A and B are shown apart, each in its own frame.
Chain A
């Protein structure tokens, strides 16, 4: 999906002026906790999150995340938006929940990115 189509689908608001005319969103990962985000291994992924701290942008920058969608009506402070613009990561916000946002994107062809789930040896989910 084109980024503009994602915005329309989620009734989202673009928060800064990075050029997204050619951007395609085909993979996504959703999490609020940053260490969970840091477990993803796929580059060129879109991040869906309700966390609006400056560290979200720093993590996204380190991981080469291509775009961030802030859900549940969360809107980061202007300093965070400006930082995202400086490192060239487009950010948008939507009033939809994380669940609904993920469902809508999945139904329109966006797929999960690869990540590294916790192993099933004792401490993790067995299946």
Chain B
């Protein structure tokens, strides 16, 4: 794998999470341990669903892996997050009502991403978009070469 980019379509609930489930399989093929593949899968799933539910035009999920780290980047071109502190508050959600019936809107998405990353960066500008990068350290991974 080394690097792979998935395009995520806005509103494509039906296929939501597909890329993340595949990603976990691909990471295992790369020799990543079950535990780190699981953490990467959680980050990717939350990011993928955010792109589907909130990004105006969807976005991209890019994952790069080498012997020392896994890098997961999510990028969209809008609408941007107005208040990042509020968005990072556990339980705060702007998910539409209908999304709750499908299991979305717990207000834990960004927090789950941060918790599963060794390093987490988020930047967002209104009308320009949001970029999130998460890094998982592989140097202490039992399955690393």
Interface size on B, residues (CB 8 A): 30
Of A38, A53, A118, A123, the contact of B46 (CB 8 Å cutoff):
A38
CA distance A56 to B20 in the complex (A): 13
On whether A59 and B100 interact (CB within 8 A), knowing A36-B106, A123-B90, A124-B90, the answer reads: no
Q: Are B49 and A55 in contact (CB under 8 A)?
A: yes
Chain B interface SS verdict (over half): helix
Residues of B within 8 A of A37 (CB): 103
Which of B14, B46, B91 contacts A54 (CB under 8 A)? B14
A34 to B103, CA, bound (A): 5
Q: Mark A66-104, 1 if CB is under 8 A from B, else 0.
A: 000000000000000000000000000000000000000
- The reply to whether B112 and A123 form a contact with Cβ atoms under 8 Å apart is no
Are A61 and B24 CB-contacts (below 8 A) given A38-B46, A54-B14? yes
Contact A62 B109 (CB under 8 A): no
Q: Is the CB of A58 within 8 A of B45?
A: yes
Asked whether any CB of chain A lies closer than 8 Å to the CB of B11, the reply is no
Assess whether A18 is interfacial by the CB under 8 Å rule.
no
Q: How far is the CB of B89 from chain A (nearest CB, A)?
A: 5
Which residues from chain A contact B21 at a C-beta distance below 8 Å?
A: 58, 61-62
Nearest residue, chain A, Cβ from B24: A62
Rounded to whole angstroms, the CA-CA distance of A32 and B104 in the bound complex is 9
8 inter-chain pairs at a CB distance below 8 angstroms, sorted by A residue, are A34-B103, A43-B38, A55-B16, A55-B102, A62-B17, A116-B115, A118-B90, A118-B111
